[in-house]
Structure 1
Amino acid sequence: MEHQQEQTVIDRFSEMQNSVNHFTATGFVFNPEREVLLILHKKLEVWLPPGGHVEADELPDQAVLREIREETGVEATILPNRLGIDPEGCVELETPFLILLENILGDWSHNHIDLIYLCRAPKARLHPDVREVNDAGWFSEEAAQQLTTFDNVQQTLDRAFKAMESRW
């Protein structure tokens, strides 16, 4: 089974040789009331966690915190997920909760390499950026399951809530 999954990834990658790939960073932000922060995407009209493209001059963990702040006004922190190594000449970045290769146009010609982080923030008043989002809100697990979103977002959301069980 593992070899079959590995081959599928290799096959998909070979289909993408002429594709455009962008690094993105996404944050599943949780508050102490066990709610997740989601935004209603302006163009896509579905609920998503805050996130966006990693700029050329920033690290992925900086990008996710910037995107959360820009889209919602929330100051979040990434939940630590490091191995704790400190080799000379290197800095260990926060390890994402998940990395997904997202097929944006349906033909693998434009893809997002999405570094997905678990984050924490106090339950704060939201200030959605109306240029990017139609709405933003804090949602319980049950409420989030009822929202219109993509299948990969719902699957990741389910796993993120499970991962948070030991971190409340």
Structure 2
Amino acid sequence: MRQQIRDEILSISPFDALERDDISRCLTWIDSGVELCRAIKPATPPMHLVSYFVVIDDGYVLLVDHRNAKLWLPPGGHVEQGEHPRVTVGRELEEELGFVASHPIEAPLFVTITATVGLTAGHIDASLWYVLRASRHQSIKFDEREFEDICWFPFNEVPFERADPHMKRFLAKLAISEKV
């Protein structure tokens, strides 16, 4: 599985110097042989792999108001031991939003390394950002234990001051990659 995770990261074309550095740091981390998946909540090991999935629809992005992080984030979750990050996306999509992807989950578009904030601050997430398409008019049953709310934001109205610190960079990369 380690090689498959490495391949996911290698599939990403860096958007900027920060992403180039995050790719390099992720590869070094993977090659070090340390545990990649969270074993004990919230921070063992201190750095672990996350699959974000950014749900989009015609210039809109679905974000969740995460109870713990106190931020508007893409949905997602921690990759479990022996689980491919794309499988994590499918599992978390059903658990967190109550639906199944209508298309195959493609390679990640983006990767970040971020210190966590909120109630369980104190660890580092190495996050693969996957893009999913869904209709903003479809019914979504979100996990109310994990999220205060969900909202479809037009790309230019995302509340960046209370969002993942890399969201603006992600949307800029998405715009270039999809000509949105």
TM bin, normalised by shorter chain, reads: 0.5 to 0.7
Residue in 1 that maps onto 2:93: 68
- Secondary structure at the counterpart of residue 158 of structure 2: helix
Corresponding residue of 1:157: 171
The aligned counterpart of 1:23 is: 49
SS at match of 1:151: coil
AA matched with 2:133: R
- Cα-to-partner distance string for 1:132-160 (whole Å, 9 max, x where unaligned): 11111222112225662132122213322
Map Cα deviations across residues 106-129 of structure 1 (whole Å, 9 max, x no partner): xxx732121111111233122111
Deviations, residues 43-64 of structure 1 (Å, cap 9, x unaligned): 1221010111011242100101
Q: Which structure exhibits the higher relative contact order, with contacts defined as CA atoms closer than 8 Å and separated by 6 or more residues?
A: 1
C-alpha RMSD of the superposition: 3.0
Give TM-score, length-normalised by structure 2: 0.64
Matching residue of 1:98:
110
Structure 2: segments with no counterpart, 5+ residues: 1-16, 35-44
Q: Count residues with an aligned counterpart.
A: 140
143 and 41 in structure 1: CA distance in 2 versus 1, 3 angstrom threshold: same
Structure label with greater radius of gyration? 1
Does residue 1:113 correspond to 2:142, yes or no? no
Which sections of structure 1, spanning at least 5 residues, go unmatched? Answer: 81-93
CA distance in 1, matches of 2:179, 2:100: 22
Deviation at 1:162, TM superposition (A): 3.6
